[in-house]
Structure 1
Amino acid sequence: MTDARKPQKPIKGRGSASRVAGRFEVTTTEGADDGWGSVYEDLVDAPKPATTVTEERARTILTRNQSPDVGFSQSLNPYRGCEHGCVYCFARPSHAYLDLSPGLDFETKLFAKTNALERLREELAKPGYVPTVTALGINTDAYQPIERRYGITRQVLELFAETKHPVSFVTKSALIERDVDLLAQMARDNLVSVHFSVTTLDNRLASRLEPRASAPHAKLRAMKALANAGVPVGVMVAPVIPMITDMEMEHILEAAFDHGAREAGYTLLRLPHELKDVWREWLELHYPERAAHVMSLVQQMRGGRDYQAEFGTRMTGTGVFAQLVQQRFRKARARLGYTRYPDLDTRRFTPPRKATPQGELF
């Protein structure tokens, strides 16, 4: 007899198969089989969950952090939630703050910060503002599908280009190729770098892990286009998943290098908060025969737990398997000739003029 509370099959085009409860919810609802058939079977046969977008007015737009594990101290996210639906996304738990599920809600109930340009201009125009490399679209992808409709990323990128403010990207979307004109212009002044996050080169696996992100070959094509335009391009092998994608690490690094990437990094699978439940559900639906083995290796890299959040090890893990991944990455990186790009230039920054009710004559 099946458990009516658990999804029995994946939802095509979505990473998560259910609305995993958020950690701040006071009450949760569970389906129960009353003998008249599975409640979940009724839900599966219902229309597939559609994507909805709520337009919101952000009070602030720049986020600061002091984490030693990331290469930036400031970021800007034009959107909340991400339609890419990457099942392993570390940002999924952030939807719990909105009283929404880190599962299906994260990839179907999205928020667009329609006043991002206005707020950014205000921030950059402040007398005490000190320019620092700003990561654009880190918590959720700045080039996810709804960017085609809203163009918020394009708007803020234009302001960064206008003020000669340095920007970095990590994306899973070939849509970034749309903005090659701005990126090439900024690259000439050492103001931008772009890293493509590549988890797998297997199209079928990618459609399960990251159903609405660009296909692997499309990422590589965009990587090549940007590199040919003079944009510094790198690759993030992220996340490395034991027994699912770890065997592809060297192949990803080789393919990326062939398409113009000259800087490389990697991170191991991270399962903070509710993400561990979303991930376990996905494993049971797609790889039930190896789910226990995968989680055993994950826990070996996390001190016997699903996740450890300590600075210094949360990205690369600990233990024998984590050390093996690190050694493989370093050897492949050296063999292929990857290097490091110079730091982006913060000295060219020119603050924008403050907007006034009277406008500007000159």
Structure 2
Amino acid sequence: MPDLLKDPTRRARARGTLAQPAPRFDAQSRHYENDGWDLPDDTPDVTREVRLEEPRSAISWNQSPDLGFDRAVNAYRGCEHGCIYCYARPTHAYLGLSPGLDFETRLIARPNAAQVLEREIGRKGYRVQPMALGTNTDLWQPIEAQHRIARSILQVLSDWNHPVTITTRGALIERDIDILSDMARRNLVDVGITVTTLDPALARAMEPRAPTPARRLAIIRAMAGAGIPVRLMMGPIIPGLTDHEAEAILKAGRDAGARSAWWALLRLPGEVNALFQDWLHENRPNHAAKVMKLLREMRGGRDYDPAFHARFRGQGAYAELLAQRIEKTRTRLGYTKIHPDLDCGQFRKPPRAGDQLSLF
């Protein structure tokens, strides 16, 4: 069982972890010692802190051959949903913050991201392809209710007829159905809703501040009812813990109105490995040995394999069996291709007050 640094002077309600591994670029380390004065009644709750950042660029570019997109916008750093398995946790170390509890409680918001995005897509040399939202941290996490950055980004993309793909588990996205349904009529949007398990107790332990599984299925129904193409995002699948639910999740998503389905195997990059194993031993001790054994079988004997393509699907007999189960179930349930072909041909600068009108 990993030995992680935890602050005994604080308590957290509905957080994924209490561990605070030091940022890997930090030259200093921290050690907590009980001096005998840490009384339970004096233990403060961990509170959320949101700082603002003015980005010089809104678009993040990548050349990864297994992602399916080459550009994304991330409005927030850190995520209050607190999913213990989140592969984005190590990015908090670049800010000098811990990928543990800091990732869930010390958040960064980029309030002018939409304005910066509009400037970037308006440049002369820009070539349009679908923009991805929610690829690192969730744009519709709880703090979006106050900051409304995701909605402002959607409005810019809608104004420019820019296609967009979305990944979220946040119920706040229902607030933006008006924009999304309008974009759907122009074949400009594909929304992915993440469902990792149908077990509400397991979901609450793994994803403490995310909507319940039933609530996420309700989001799918709301999107589909508004004519918005919905993709079921079944990830991560955790062997030995959630993989037995694959067929049930696929059926529930299809019944709710999802048109396509995507899945990914659990990934444990960087600090996520120790954090997840610590969570396993504390929350599902009877599953811990089996989960890690199966995961290593699917990762070539390692806890994590970062190789392109293999990182999402794994390798070996168990990985192949899981892939076959999912593919057969997708076919039986009538799921379509993973992503619809969004229309890039409508992209144009929106008219503004005072612009010269076209003669034709």
TM-score, length basis structure 2: 0.93
Equivalences, count = 352
Match of 1:347 in 2: 345
Partner of 1:338: 335
Alignment map for 1:158-307 (pairs within 5 Å): 158-307=155-304
Report the Cα offset of residue 68 of structure 1.
1.4
Identity among equivalent positions (%) equals: 47
Q: Write the mapping of 1:1-362 to structure 2, written as runs, cut at 5 A.
A: 11-32=12-33, 46-340=43-337, 341-352=339-350, 360=354
Please give the alpha-carbon distance, in whole angstroms, between the structure 2 residues aligned to 1:361 and 1:63. 30
Is the 1:20–1:277 Cα contact (8 Å) retained in structure 2? no
Change (3 A) 1:4 1:109: closer
Pairwise CA distance, 1:43: 8.1
More displaced stretch, 342-351 vs 186-195: 342-351
1:313-358 per-position Cα deviation (integer Å, ceiling 9, x unaligned): 000011122112111111111111101253111110012579xxxx
Could you give the per-residue CA deviations for residues 121-175 of structure 1, whole angstroms, max 9, x where no partner exists? 1101101111110011210001000000000000010111111000110101121
**Cα offset, 1:271, TM superposition:** 0.3
Structure 1 CA distance for aligned equivalents of residues 40 and 316 of structure 2: 42
SS in 2 for 1:255: helix
Deviation at 1:91, TM superposition (A): 0.3
Distance in structure 2 (CA, Å) of the matches to 1:199 and 1:48? 28
Q: CA deviation at 1:282?
A: 0.5
Q: 1:19-59, CA deviations, whole angstroms, 9 ceiling, x for partnerless residues?
A: 1222212111123467x59x7xx689622211110011011
CA–CA distance in 2 between the matches of 1:266 and 1:228? 23
Structure 1 residues 240, 337: CA separation in 2 closer, same or farther (over 3 Å shift)? same
Q: 1:325 to 1:7 in 2, by over 3 A?
A: farther
1:256-311 Cα shifts (integer Å, max 9, x gaps): 00010010010000000111011011111101232122111111111111101001
CA positional deviation for 1:236: 1.1
Q: Which is worse superposed, 345-354 or 271-280?
A: 345-354
What is the TM-score with the length of structure 1 in the denominator? 0.92
Give the Cα–Cα distance (whole angstroms) in 2 for the partners of residues 252 and 46 of structure 1. 40
Alignment CA distance shift 1:212-1:270 (3 Å)? same
Q: 1:43 to 1:330 in 2, by over 3 A?
A: farther
Runs of 4+ in 1 over 6 A off after TM superposition: 7-10
- The separation in 2 between residues aligned to 1:360 and 1:104, in whole angstroms, is 50
TM-superposition CA deviations, 1:53-76 (whole Å, max 9, x none): 001101100011111111211100
Unaligned runs of 5+ in 2: none
Q: Is the Cα contact below 8 Å between 1:20 and 1:101 reproduced in 2?
A: yes
Secondary structure at the aligned position of 2:323 is classed as: helix
How many angstroms apart in 1 are the aligned matches of 2:313 and 2:175?
33
**Separation of aligned partners in 1, 2:249 and 2:343:** 29
For the aligned residues, what is the CA RMSD? 2.2
Consecutive unaligned residues of structure 1, counting only runs of 5 or more, are none
**How far apart, CA to CA, are the structure 2 residues paired with 1:209 and 1:223?**
21
Secondary structure of 1:196 counterpart: strand
CA–CA separation in structure 1 for the residues paired with 2:205 and 2:41:
17
| Equivalent-residue separation in structure 2 for 1:10 and 1:270 (angstroms) | 27
